[in-house]
């Protein structure tokens, strides 16, 4: 849809952007397309999301070994295990033990571009330091793009993601997707 092309143009024309919209408006499809485009430009790209099932789906859709796709928690565990000797083997307990603000991402592990899907659960104080360290130039100067239902799908953290970004990172363009691409009227009538 035209609206999705506009959102893609806004992202490409800016070093950072927030794309928000309800379920079915094409946020994940746009995140995948953006990852592919940056990868085609030979940039080191990471796509982070919150849900493991979405991470699996994004991995299948991108199907490019050069693009790093993972949940934000799996990515945090990678550095948590490197920094803590006695981290519990149970991932849920391990995550509770990690001080996200003290994680250290080596320069060799930083990405040229990070793309965040499910931004409503990731753009908050818990993951801020990790995201900031993960992109070359940090969130202030680096290239990053976030996609999420910032209004209706906040499950794990009630932080206003747009306010958080503007207060703690920088003022970025925000584009709202309104057209439902997945659950069109035709699909509704068919079902």
pTM value is 0.86
Residue 124 has pLDDT above 80, yes or no: yes
User: Which residues have C-beta within 8 Å of that of residue 26, sequence separation ≥ 6?
Assistant: 1, 4, 7, 177, 179, 181, 182
Instruction: Return the closest-CA partner of residue 120 out of 77, 149, 78.
Output: 149
Residue 134 has pLDDT above 90, yes or no: yes
Burial (CB count <10 Å: 0-12, 13-18, 19+), residue 30: buried
* Average confidence (pLDDT) over 39-44: 94
Local confidence band at 94 (pLDDT 50, 70, 90 cut-offs): low
pLDDT in tens, 50-70: 888 999 999 999 887 789 999
Residue 140 has pLDDT above 90, yes or no: yes
Q: Which two tokens stand for residue 117?
A: 């899907």
Length of the chain (residues): 191
Instruction: Return the closest-CA partner of residue 23 out of 151, 114, 124, 173.
Output: 151
Running DSSP on this structure, what letter comes out for residue 44? -
Q: Which of 39-43, 45-49, 78-82 has the lowest mean pLDDT?
A: 78-82
User: Which residues have C-beta within 8 Å of that of residue 78, sequence separation ≥ 6?
Assistant: none
Whole-angstrom distance, CA of residue 127 vs CA of residue 101: 8
pLDDT in tens, 150-184: 876 556 566 778 888 899 999 999 999 998 876 65
Residue 189 has pLDDT above 60, yes or no: no
* Average confidence (pLDDT) over 105-131: 93
Q: Which two tokens stand for residue 181?
A: 């691409």
Rg of the Cα atoms in the chain:
16
Running DSSP on this structure, what letter comes out for residue 111? B
Q: How far is CA 157 from CA 59, 123, 183, in A?
A: 25, 9, 27
């Amino acid at each position: 849809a035209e609206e999705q092309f506009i959102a893609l143009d806004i992202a490409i024309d800016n070093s950072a952007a927030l794309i928000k919209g309800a379920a079915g408006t094409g946020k994940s499809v746009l995140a995948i397309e953006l990852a592919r485009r940056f990868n085609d430009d030979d940039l080191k790209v990471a796509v982070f999301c919150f849900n493991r099932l979405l991470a699996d789906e994004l991995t299948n859709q991108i199907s490019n070994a050069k693009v790093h796709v993972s949940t934000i928690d799996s990515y945090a565990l990678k550095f948590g295990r490197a920094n803590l000797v006695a981290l519990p083997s149970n991932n849920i307990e391990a995550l509770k033990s990690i001080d996200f603000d003290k994680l250290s991402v080596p320069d060799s592990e930083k990405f040229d571009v990070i793309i965040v899907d499910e931004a409503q659960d990731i753009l908050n104080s818990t993951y801020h330091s990790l995201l900031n360290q993960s992109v070359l130039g940090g969130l202030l100067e680096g290239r990053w793009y976030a996609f999420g239902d910032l209004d209706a799908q906040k499950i794990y953290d009630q932080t206003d993601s747009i306010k958080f970004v503007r207060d703690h990172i920088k003022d970025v363009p925000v584009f709202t997707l309104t057209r439902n691409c997945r659950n069109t009227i035709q699909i509704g009538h068919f079902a």
